[in-house]
Amino acid sequence: MITLAGIIGSGKSSLTKILAGELGTKAYYEPVEDNPVLPIFYKGNEIAAKKRAAGEKDATNPYAYLLQTFFLNRRFKMIKEAMVEDNNILDRSIYEDAIFMKMNTDMGNATKVEYDIYQSLLQNMLEELPYAAHKKSPDLMIAIKVSYETMIKRIEKRGRDYEQIQEDPSLVTYYQRLLSYYDTWMAEYDVSPLLIIDGDKYDFVANKEDRVEILEMIEDKLSELGNLSKEKVLSLKERHQRN
């Protein structure tokens, strides 16, 4: 099982689709369009920021805890389903979920009590994974690291109004802060083998040469870990050369 990680707009879903096609396996995508909480969460962030600017120091986003428990529930269900069979790929995982709750708590959007309850729930879920599925962690975590500039370009391209900094200027600080939290998470992640991809350097969606280089980087890593035979890697590389 492979899981993807990365900030908003890093290309997780795109790389998940590319990898699933390459390896002939099933892709699991986290639904976004049917999320009833996400748009009101962004609005809640904006309201909380304005209240704090006006002197209300304890103003929180009333939807922060709701959003994170919504995501946590979905990601737990998704990873359980993916773990039942081998060779599946997830475009987001439960392992990076705590980044958002930690940052929202540090920013004042969630309370310490909400954070503690969330952490307790998360740990209980992670402890249940070996019983709910046949493994307790992914075979490989692929993290896509991008700069703020790349992130904003991709957010603008996909066009969700509630994600745009033009619609909500407070998102500039939110996104920049989130990037730093992801950097810390990548440095500290130890649940499984980790491969970090430079999403600024490699445009694996639009550039064929970049895509092939990334695929071969991932396949070499899977071979090194014993999850992909050397014969299979060689066969895939020969296919790349033909195409």
- Asked if residue 192 belongs to a known ligand binding site, the reply is no
167 is in an annotated binding site: no
- For residue 164, say whether it is annotated as part of any ligand binding site: no
Is 42 one of the annotated binding-site residues? yes
Cα 78 from Cα 178, distance rounded (Å) = 24
Q: Check whether 68 is labelled as a binding-site residue.
A: yes
Q: Which residue do the tokens 């991932």 mark?
A: 218
13 assigned binding-site residue: yes
Residue 55 annotated as binding?
no
Q: Any known ligand binding at 93? A: no
156 is in an annotated binding site: yes
Residue 86 Cα to chain centre, angstroms: 21
Q: What is the Cα–Cα distance from 5 to 112, expressed in whole angstroms?
A: 25
Active-site hit among 58, 86, 91, 183: 91
Find out whether 97 is annotated in a ligand binding site: yes
34 noted as active-site residue = no
**Which residues contribute to the annotated binding site?**
6-14, 30, 42, 68, 92, 97, 154-158, 163
**Which residues contribute to the annotated binding site for ATP?**
6-14, 154-158
**Which residues contribute to the annotated binding site for substrate?**
30, 42, 68, 92, 97, 163
- Name the residues annotated as catalytic: 91
